[in-house]
Amino acid sequence: MSTSTAPVADSDAVGWRFDNTYARLPESLFVPSKPAVVREPRMAVLNFPLAEELGLNLAALASDAAAALFAGQALPSGSFPIAQAYAGHQYGGFTMLGDGRAILLGEHRTPSGQLVDIQFKGSGRTQFSRRGDGRAALGPMLREYIISEAMAALGIPTTRSLAVVTTGEPVYRTVPQRGAILTRVAASHIRVGTFEYAARRDETTLKTLADYAIERHYAELSDSPQKYREFFRAVTERQAALVARWLCVGFIHGVMNTDNVAISGETIDYGPCAFMNAYDPATVYSSIDHGGRYAYGNQPHIMQWNLARLAETLLPLFDSDPDQSVAFAKEVLMEFPARFEKHWLAGMRSKLGLTTEQPDDLDLVTSLLDGMQKTQADFTRTFRSLSREQPDDVCPDGAAELAAWTARWHERLQREGQSLAAVRTRMRKVNPAVIPRNHRVEEALSAAEERDDLSPLHRLVDVLSSPFDERPEFAEYEEPPADESGYHTFCGT
């Protein structure tokens, strides 16, 4: 495969500060891989606010130089591109995987001193591509750009999207589509599946990976005498908090395989993801999730299952006595439901404007959700309505049956001695007015793919960048679709 290795012109002016710490790990964890040559790279989207956070001056690059950079045609000084090896349980079945269409350039050091991965997605074949082409289509890359940036604006830990370029070449799925490459920024790309891969190599590789992950993401544990045990507890805690945040905004990941669970606690991989409209725990959008394994309400259980797979890999590090290792792993895994419920209930209290904990809070929340499911109330609009000045406008979708619940909620607030005005002001800071409504995302993607018109996407990203603000000029973005029956999302592979 022909590749380009020349540094980007003016790359020093951009401000890249690359290190390659992952590439100094055992060679079994990666293979050197360079982006494929593409015919005609052209910029589609550049995330200037994120670039500024990263300490990068993208304005120093002309458009063609930026396109060459983010298409991998000219590599930044100091980068050392590799494809990472990992495994994964996909829909419950174990598979050896690896970066089949992604290449890690290395880690960029931000002005705050943090290391972040810079990765190309869709940049051609690697040793792990199997029979795939290693390419990506424009639609799925723009979907990840939209959703990941929306999640960041919602305050949910997530990978970010720095750029999307088109390649000038088709990719072939069910029909030919425009090729594209996404530049993803992540705390790291170490996954549960990375540990599954390392554990099947040898214990030395596993221990080296664990030490690296601890130093990079849980440095406070580095000197702990039981650091591997504490590492597993800490990962479990972050994942419990993350899934709770997903549920509090109606997010459905869609493909919670173990290779899509980042050790850092960030949301990673926006394939068949979507946001729920009418509240129903059984909601599934992914076209390939026929059994509802990754349905909205199943996500906490699946995360616990995924963490069990992580625990299996770490057993040799927990204790020299296998029985003690298993007992510890079971103890932590059994704590997960309570950890999740603590974070979820705290999030729901915040969404309802509650500032204290009361014994009947769980029942108060579940009673509201049961009523919403019965009336097919829109998840986002219902909570936003509660934060507005019209106390009777609880649910615009026929919420007369929720009147008794509303009275109960008001009584609960009165016991806290809070005024409704103060409560609603606080609630508007946590209940978004806008989310990436599925039909709005599809409109933006269709315009970009079919008409090469990115204006709907830019408008949508602008709206989603301030999800808690009510802007009258963007009121239509608050509305759910008239009919979403039959809507499906798809993986981009």
Residues of the chain with pLDDT under 50: 1-5, 7-9, 391-392, 396-398
What is the pTM assigned to this prediction?
A: 0.95
pLDDT of residue 9: 42
pLDDT of residue 13: 84
pLDDT of residue 84: 98
Domain ranges of the chain: 11-190, 352-386+388-427
Mean pLDDT of the chain: 93
pLDDT of residue 399: 56
pLDDT of residue 279: 96
pLDDT of residue 400: 67
pLDDT of residue 389: 67
The CA distance from 413 to 408, in Å, is 9
Q: For residue 137, how many other CB atoms are within 10 A of its CB?
A: 22
Annotated active-site positions, please? 259
